[in-house]
């Protein structure tokens, strides 16, 4: 078990290192001029100034040298300075990640609960009208673009009903120190709702399949023969045997969760990491883009790592190996 965990940690480190190399190479491939993006579009730069800036940033040295010096500084925790925010990248990511985690966490818990319950309901009522209706809704939702659901939610709840503000995660015209927690929660409701709406379908359909497999098993047949009621079967056999695959799947889906949050943050102008990633890409803020790519990959890898761990800890069959 312990050697397995160490192996997984080593794999995680090797993958994270490969992510660093990949994103670095992708950025250097870009035809977008780093000097021009640093001084801002439309600003004229004389050849001498350009040479000075390139010299200052070390753009004239070789690719390996640049990668090594970049690698050394990120190992020290120095990801450079964001061009948009004019602050160290690490502090921007820290702040934005906190609000993204609040959003993604809420949506993640909501979608797990809704998805799991619906999955059980569908599986128990297999091929009955209730199952068919919920299944169709799930298939429909999984074919629907997240950002469009966001737009519909905005139209209904903000424009027509006027219950929620149209954008921003805090009320406007107030100092950031005066923003109350309740305001933050209020502004997070719609984005979190949208994100969970578009992500519970996958959990529900996955759970449905598992439930059907369990219900067809010999031990459930035996339980029925013993005269256990449906409630007893659900509590004693169904939930015990289906909850771990669902939890594992939810931890392994951090990539989709992050992608969804990028779109939702854009629609609701929610100031999280996703919106920062889009801004960094559009305005060529290379240090910030690199930092976000590395941290978002770490987030996904940690999710997969936890999924493996949960699986190994809880399932006795896997623990033995």
Q: Kindly indicate which of the ranges 59-67, 84-92, 123-131, 263-271 contains the residues binding another protein, using the contact rule CB under 8 A.
A: 263-271
Q: Kindly indicate which of the ranges 67-75, 115-123, 219-227, 281-289 contains the residues binding another protein, using the contact rule CB under 8 A.
A: 281-289
CA of residue 235 relative to chain centroid, distance = 31
Please identify, using beta-carbon distances, which residue of 23 and 239 lies nearer to another protein. Answer: 23
Q: Which of 277, 287, 291, 307 binds another protein (CB under 8 A)?
A: 277
Cα distance between residue 151 and residue 134, in whole Å: 23
Q: At what angle do helices 181-215 and 239-251 cross, to 10 degrees?
A: 130
Q: Does 29 bind another protein (CB under 8 A)?
A: yes
**Exposure string over 121-130, b if 16+ CB within 10 A, otherwise e:** bbbbbeeeee
Q: Which of 82, 258, 272, 308 binds another protein (CB under 8 A)?
A: 258
Pseudo-torsion of CA 118, 124, 126, 131, nearest 10°?
-30
Cα distance between residue 255 and residue 304, in whole Å: 10
Which residues, listed in sequence order, are joined to residue 88 by a DSSP beta bridge?
81
Cβ at position 18, least distance to another protein in Å = 5
Write out the binding residues for another protein, residues 297-316 only, by CB under 8 A: 297, 299-301, 304
Q: Which of 68, 139, 168, 314 binds another protein (CB under 8 A)?
A: 139
Residue 284 near residue 112 (C-beta atoms within 8 A) = no
Site residues, another protein (CB under 8 A)? 11, 14-15, 18-19, 22-23, 26-27, 29-32, 139-140, 143-148, 151-152, 154-155, 158-159, 166, 254-256, 258-259, 262-263, 266-267, 274, 277-278, 281-282, 284, 289, 292-293, 296-297, 299-301, 304
């Amino acid at each position: 078990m312990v050697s397995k965990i160490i192996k997984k940690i080593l794999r995680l480190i090797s993958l994270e290192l490969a992510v660093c190399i990949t994103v670095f190479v992708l950025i250097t491939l870009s035809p977008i001029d780093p000097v021009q993006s640093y001084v801002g579009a439309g600003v004229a730069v004389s050849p001498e100034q350009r040479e000075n800036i390139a010299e200052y940033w070390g753009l004239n040295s070789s690719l390996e040298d640049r990668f090594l010096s970049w690698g050394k500084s990120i190992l020290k925790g120095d990801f450079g300075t964001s061009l948009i925010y004019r602050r160290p990248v690490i502090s921007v990511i820290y702040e934005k990640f906190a609000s993204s985690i609040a959003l993604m966490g809420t949506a993640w818990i909501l979608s797990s609960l809704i998805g799991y319950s619906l999955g059980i309901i569908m599986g128990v009522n297999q091929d009955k009208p209730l199952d068919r209706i919920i299944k169709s809704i799930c298939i429909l939702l999984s074919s629907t673009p997240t950002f469009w659901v966001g737009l519909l939610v905005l139209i209904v709840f903000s424009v027509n009903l006027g219950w929620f503000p149209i954008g921003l995660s805090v009320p406007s015209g107030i100092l950031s120190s005066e923003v109350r927690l309740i305001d933050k929660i209020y502004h997070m409701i719609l984005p979190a709702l949208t994100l969970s709406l578009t992500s519970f379908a996958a959990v529900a359909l996955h759970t449905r399949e598992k439930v059907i497999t369990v219900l067809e098993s010999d031990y459930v047949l035996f339980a029925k023969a013993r005269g256990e009621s449906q409630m007893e079967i659900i509590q004693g056999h169904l939930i015990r045997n289906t909850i771990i695959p669902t939890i594992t799947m939810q931890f392994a889906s951090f990539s989709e969760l992050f992608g969804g949050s990028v779109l939702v943050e854009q629609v609701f102008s929610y100031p999280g990491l996703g919106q920062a990633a889009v801004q960094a890409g559009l305005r060529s803020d290379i240090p910030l883009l690199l930092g976000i790519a590395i941290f978002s990959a770490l987030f996904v890898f940690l999710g997969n790592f936890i999924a493996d761990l949960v699986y190994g800890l809880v399932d006795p069959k896997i623990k033995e190996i």
